[in-house]
Structure 1
């Protein structure tokens, strides 16, 4: 249940001098006084009426973002004994400490069910302890425990420690199963520009090749260790996650494996993903409404081994899929060993989509979809001339076009399309004709 925040003030001259004489917080039995003092100490700094109101509103917003209060009410009362001062009263109603929830989630052509138990305000400072379990078609089983705490009382800066384990079936791209156990630390920073996340993770992995696997996969079977630092930055102004009609998205993702000279992996990986969405036609109401939007998307990636050793299959870059470069199988572009995808070291892909309501059925959560996709993938090794790689990436790009339907759901984008690959290379695994895709990441 979301919290309710109210802010009450009497009509006053906002340019008049004002300062805060006292602050009282009522209605708490779990939350620590020291935590609340840290949050409210900024109230004593403003010296004008408008600044006092602004600071009080900012504190109410921060309390709401901590997600440990059902109600937040802020009152400013004139102090009768001191001129140009007010007394601030913050009335809070705490949420219950425990929460059990289940969710239906999606990934790249993956569907899984998650159950979690959340303990919040664990030590009275908006700390949380979250344990979750999930089961799905690609992540067969997974479990995670995360302990998080805000730093310096800020809801926009949190530190987390986590441990997790998973069993994943990679047969959508390659015939092998991977079991992993990970432990690490994570820092999240939220700002007006977006969300940054920096984490360190130590992962133990065990790969088991299926009987149909190629020699490349069988060679990588067995245990391996990865010591990595991750960074991501996400700026998202889209009006919807799965079927946006306005706004844009920018995601930057980096990984450095081999930190502290630990583990069997030593590489740097960069990926960038961007989208922009705009409504072109919006007229009419009800079932006869006509709404047409244009979506432009692009992504690119670069993977560089730092010791010239082969990068593990689970860490390589792959291209193709029903929500990616449509018209090609998942991982269907790039080098192969028999039926198995070897991925690549550098890629780019772009997409353009026109999405429209169905005539006479604008109220339905189903939209018409026309699209064109293009992209390429190449092999590149550190020390090689980049000009040769750029030339290969620009030569004979893979291209596909198609028509289809998008089912609009809150948790997933579900597409059924008829796709025609127009350009491809020898060795590519194409997926022409009717196809089906589900996920939240789309080109």
Structure 2
């Protein structure tokens, strides 16, 4: 909120900030507030003053440590062409406790956490988070983050986490993991970047029905990786968008300098586009299309060494290529999917409101899916050739029940093309999560 003179001068008129006062803070350091606000004194015109004041308000809002932010500009009559700026701030409570339900690929988790905001008066935050679910049996993470040089668009921190996960929907094993590392986050007008370095110890326990491949990877393994991700999300909804686009690019470099038990470079990309074809009153028809692709490259000379099961790609399932079981596309050994080192998957849907039920969160849709996977990636050209020559396809129709936290689908699926090693799942199939093809 701001107060400015009623007869505002033109944008190019000379104007400087003479003084800046900050009221209402007790826990926030003056040095931190100065780092956020000091640039306002460099303004030389009315337009620059207003832009820098707006930047201050935006930065303070993003730091998430204030309940109220009020900014007043008052003409300084003693010094021509100057204004005095006053910030009235109301700090949020330091303590934070929250619980929520997170939904992923056919899994649901109960999440909770306790945390502290503005720990040392510079918008630092510390938290301990936990989760329990049907696939993630238990997970806990502690994290401490601080803005880099007071900038709300960049944060850096350290983390420790541990988890126990059940992979039996795809492979017959459970995995406990412990990780520690550092993480950097940055936000730009184009999207969000994250860069992290993590040291991970994983303990794999094969179940009684596990194949020889799964059993051979039982025990403890170590991984040291550098991660990078870029996400641009311009959708109007995460669960059932009617317009916008999404782009996610993810990289992992493991075993740099020969550290850890595995060495590889992994790329993955996800993209989607959504457009309303009909949007008139209660009649809505939306076209959605999505694509995913990934490629893994080994960085060692051991030709017979396989990528670890937890690092491999898997294709098939109600959120991937519908009409197939989870991880049901590709080579198998017994009941276990071998996964792959390269894949692609795509989908297109027409989503429509249902006459007479437009007031309910229920939609009807028809879809077509396709995808492929290669167990061992060769040269890029060979891998692309293999992936293009072995597509699996399916079509179908069904109902969508959508909520702000998740989407539930009940579909009648018709697998059209599949290989002898695949596990098609025709007729009725259920799926819940966020990212459907």
Structure 1 and Structure 2 fold alike (TM over 0.5): yes
Kept in 1, the 8 Å contact 2:224–2:254? The answer is: yes
The equivalences for 1:186-197 within 5 A come to: 186-197=183-194
1:425 aligns with 2:419: yes
Within-5 A mapping of 1:117-196? 117-196=114-193
1:298 pairs with one of 291, 297, 309: 291
Which residue of 365, 370, 378 corresponds with 2:361? 365
Pair 1:333 & 2:329 matched? yes
* CA distance in 2 between partners of 1:293 and 1:306 (Å): 43
Residue in structure 2 matching 1:9, options 4, 7, 11: 4
2:111 and 2:72 mapped to 1: Cα distance?
40
Establish whether residue 389 from structure 1 lines up as the match of residue 383 from structure 2: yes
Say if 2:354 and 2:363, in contact at 8 Å, map to a contact too.
yes
The C-alpha deviation readout for 1:324-373, integer Å capped at 9, x for no partner, is 11111111111111110010111111100000111111110010011000
TM-score (norm 2): 0.97
Match of 2:37 among 31, 35, 40: 40
Q: Distance in 1 between matches of 2:433 and 2:196?
A: 25
1:15 Cα deviation from its structure 2 partner: 2.6
Deviation at 1:385, TM superposition (A): 4.0
Can you give the 5+ residue segments of structure 2 that lack an aligned partner in the other structure?
Answer: none
- Among candidates 320, 324, 340, match of residue 320 of structure 2: 324
Counterpart check, 1:102 vs 2:99 = yes
Which of these residues, 407, 410, 433, is aligned with residue 413 of structure 1? 407
Describe the superposition over 1:236-289 as per-residue Cα deviations: whole angstroms up to 9, x where unpaired.
Answer: 1000001000000000000011023211011111000000000000112xxxx1
Residues 123-167 of structure 1: per-residue CA shift (max 9 Å, x gap): 000000011111000000000001000001111000010000000
Q: Kindly tell me: are residues 119 and 210 of structure 1, through their superposed partners in 2, closer, same or farther at Cα, counting changes over 3 Å? A: same
Contact 1:266 1:306 in 2 (8 A): yes
RMSD of aligned Cα (Å):
1.0
TM-score of the aligned structures, taking structure 1 as reference length = 0.96
Does the 8 Å CA contact 2:119/2:125 hold for their aligned counterparts? Answer: yes
> In the aligned structure 1, how far is the partner of 2:342 from the partner of 2:86?
57
Does the 8 A contact of 1:379 with 1:389 survive in 2?
Answer: no
Q: Distance in 2 between matches of 1:82 and 1:168?
A: 66
Give the drift of 1:118: 1.6
CA distance in 2, matches of 1:393, 1:356: 32
Summarize the alignment of residues 226-241 of structure 1 with structure 2, pairs less than 5 Å apart: 226-241=223-238
Residue 43 of structure 1 and its aligned partner are, at CA, apart by 0.4
Matches within 5 A, 1:253-292: 253-284=250-281, 289-292=282-285
Match of 2:82 among 82, 85, 106: 85
